[in-house]
Amino acid sequence: MTFPKILFTRPAVFLLASLSFACLLGEFYKLWSMRAFACWALLPATLLLAAIAVASQRRPDKYGSAAALWIIEGALGGVVAACAYDLFRLPFVLNGFPLFKVFPMFGQMLLGAGPADFSWPVQIVGWLYHFSNGAALGIMFLAMLPRAQSRLAVIMAVLWALCVEAILLMTPYATFFKIAMGFSTFLALTLSAHIIFGLTLGWWCRRRLAGRELRVAV
């Protein structure tokens, strides 16, 4: 299959990855349900990203391998960073902070389950959606990053994570999920966790991509 060149550009990859967040934001503002959006937009976009990565690797003479790096390494780095993010928050969760309560709620909305349903399918789908957001952040970051070997890569990753945090705070996230925490406490915990995410993502990019070309040769 031949793909249009535009699909191998930074804006296209960034936009496709961003649909993971659009899935939830639309639910916040009653634009669409997470379940419908996941089926008709997020899943096709995810499959298309995978296809772009494969096509980019198979046609280096035409496309270069940059798009594959953005998607594959970005997704891996984002998932690793999400794990670090959660491990940082785990001690707080064990001490009673409701930082993980949103994950089963993601699953409930994606599967159309009731609010009292905390079954394993709901839990698994909720956590998978959480990590899909981590992967999306990694892809979006690499689609913006000019040079992975730059010493500024880690700083840029932290700034990217803090930008996401700022956007999160402008949404009804805390009230929508009824997170019973004071604003200052919630801000401190999410801010520090996003810094950990950014540091991990930046470290991954420098370690895995140093010396590799991030531009598309089209």
pLDDT digits (tens, 9 = 90+) for 1-15: 678 889 999 999 999
pTM metric for this prediction:
0.93
Number of domains present in the structure of the chain: 1
Q: Judge contact between 140 and 162, C-beta under 8 A.
A: no
Residue 122 lies in a domain: yes
Q: Using a pLDDT cut of 90, give the percent of the chain over it.
A: 76
pLDDT at 206: 87
pLDDT digits 0-9 by tens, 114-151: 999 999 999 999 999 999 999 999 999 999 988 766 67
Query: In this structure, what token pair is assigned to residue 177?
Result: 């999920």
- Cα–Cα distance for residue pair 137/155, rounded to 1 Å: 15
* Within a domain: 218: no
Domain-located, residue 131 = yes
The Cα 44–Cα 126 span in angstroms is: 19
Q: Kindly report which listed range (27-41, 155-169, 175-189) carries the lowest average pLDDT score.
A: 175-189
Q: Find the domain containing 199 and state its range.
A: 5-209
Q: Write down the mean pLDDT value for the chain.
A: 91
